[in-house]
Structure 1
């Protein structure tokens, strides 16, 4: 199963029997068999025929519409993608159980951030990185003493601030300068890649959450609203550093992304342009298809990690006594 990314502008997606045809003008950019699809992500101004939409609804394939900058406007889902059964169980999770899982999520995010900095510290020592690692260790110790979700959100925010204060030390290209995290709008090309990567990963998690029948609006750490699928925001935390941040560093340090030619400055912020998005998505898919060793006898692609964690969360919903264990790197 795969995701189809329509990242170039002015594309037209039509259906011929069981095959999607992606064109830009008269040029055929690609063909994809519908049975092989898991979801479609459309960035910016491209069109999909009614026949394609109907075929996707029939096969339970969600279609997400995003801005060129990665903001998700909405999704087309089949009627049967409801959350009634599991939603009842999710609503029965107690405040204590929510707090315990929220602690697990924040602790895992802080630990994964620390590991990324520790790896860089072993390659090239930096007093800034040492200070950030020490701060993260202090915050990790405080997680178990947090008695409210609000306190945990504060620790998570403080950890992100410390982590990103040292993130620039991991960048080896003089073309890219990073002094701190800025989101709306992204203040520089590094922030543009981070924001775009988080949005792409968030949408993947949301699709997989829906496939498993979970209600994405009930979560433990983040608060859901009519426009915020909080469970995707919960589950992305453990994957930010090991998937998106490491990919951004790889793209920069290997000189795959060009600071001059792969970005556009728009409304006071920096964003990936068509070529930049194409490079990022290609590298993202390749990275997620890489196999990792999960035990001495078994490997699995990184895609499976996402599904594995969502299934683990689903098991927690059915049996809250078995607390959800987020993914942690070493």
Structure 2
């Protein structure tokens, strides 16, 4: 089954017998057999015919509408898919089952952070990075034995405290100075890009969680409330370094983003301005649209996120198979 990502604006999706056609003007960009479709994600401004929407509803193929930043405007689903059948199973997960998944999530986050640092260490050795890698190794071991969520959150915080100063050592563009993570508000251009990227990624994960029928307010590591979709906060942890941090390094070290021209300082913080957001989103979407081989088929990097959400869904149905987070090599 295939997830269809339509990220080009101005496309027109229509039905031709058992084929979904993606057109731009009179040009057919792609075509997919309807029986092979699992879901459709529309980024930006594209149109679907009423006939195609009706067939998707009849065949339980959800359609998700997102902004170019990944913010979910809404989704079209068949009536029978609209009930939160999984929420009851999520609520029935035991404290031990939640703790085991929370351990795995924190360990994956720490390991992925370590890989990002080691990649730079091989190119340009640094004592700060070497010490951070050793500390992260130690924290990974401790996280695997943590006896509670509070302990895990403490270890996650300790990991960030040693990771981000070393992350600053990986920046080769002297126009960007970064010594520590600051969020509310972001204090400098690097923090501005990290915060913006995390928000884009979090929004997209929330959309995929909703699409799979999971309850985003029941999680394992973070506590949810009416204003916090904790499951999105859980699942983003394994992707922070792999997707956002690595992209920020690319944008800074390759000179794609300009420290003077692409940011604005307001309300005590630093933020990407219009030109900066355009550059960031263009690079972000290009990276997420890169084709990877997933389960034997070519799919965009977006699909890695979908596969992890599906794995968590499988864990909810069968907690004996503990959720395995995404790890980079």
In which range does the TM-score fall when normalised by the shorter chain? Answer: 0.7 to 0.9
- Mapped contact 1:83–1:215 kept (Cα < 8 A): no
Equivalent in the alignment of 2:131: 131
Gaps of 5+ in 2: 15-28, 33-38, 46-52
RMSD between aligned residues:
3.2
Gaps of 5+ in 1: 7-12, 19-31, 43-54
The answer to whether structure 1 residue 308 and structure 2 residue 311 are counterparts is no
The answer to whether structure 1 residue 214 and structure 2 residue 214 are counterparts is yes
**Distance apart, 1:62 and its partner CA:** 5.0
For residue 270 of structure 1, give the secondary structure of its aligned residue in structure 2. strand
- Structure 2 CA distance for aligned equivalents of residues 197 and 83 of structure 1: 31
**Distance apart, 1:37 and its partner CA:** 6.0
5 Å-filtered alignment, 1:1-40, equals 1-2=4-5, 38-39=41-42
For residue 112 of structure 2, give the secondary structure of its aligned residue in structure 1. helix
- Structure 1 CA distance for aligned equivalents of residues 119 and 226 of structure 2: 39
Once the two structures are superposed, residues 187-223 of structure 1 have per-residue CA deviations (whole angstroms, 9 ceiling, x without a partner) of 0000000000000001111111111111111100011
The answer to whether structure 1 residue 237 and structure 2 residue 237 are counterparts is yes
C-alpha change, 1:248 and 1:63, in structure 2 (3 Å) is same
Q: How many residues align?
A: 295
Equivalent in the alignment of 1:10: none
Equivalent in the alignment of 1:105: 105
Once the two structures are superposed, residues 59-80 of structure 1 have per-residue CA deviations (whole angstroms, 9 ceiling, x without a partner) of 95555689xxx897x8545685
For residue 99 of structure 1, give the secondary structure of its aligned residue in structure 2. helix
5 Å-filtered alignment, 1:250-265, equals 250-265=250-265
- Mapped contact 2:121–2:129 kept (Cα < 8 A): yes
Equivalent in the alignment of 2:145: 145
5 Å-filtered alignment, 1:260-279, equals 260-279=260-279
Once the two structures are superposed, residues 204-254 of structure 1 have per-residue CA deviations (whole angstroms, 9 ceiling, x without a partner) of 111111111111111000111101111111000000001000001001111
Equivalent in the alignment of 2:25: none
- Mapped contact 1:4–1:37 kept (Cα < 8 A): no
- Mapped contact 2:112–2:242 kept (Cα < 8 A): yes
**Distance apart, 1:301 and its partner CA:** 2.6
- Structure 1 CA distance for aligned equivalents of residues 158 and 8 of structure 2: 34
Once the two structures are superposed, residues 38-86 of structure 1 have per-residue CA deviations (whole angstroms, 9 ceiling, x without a partner) of 25579xxxxxxxxxxxx9xx995555689xxx897x8545685745201
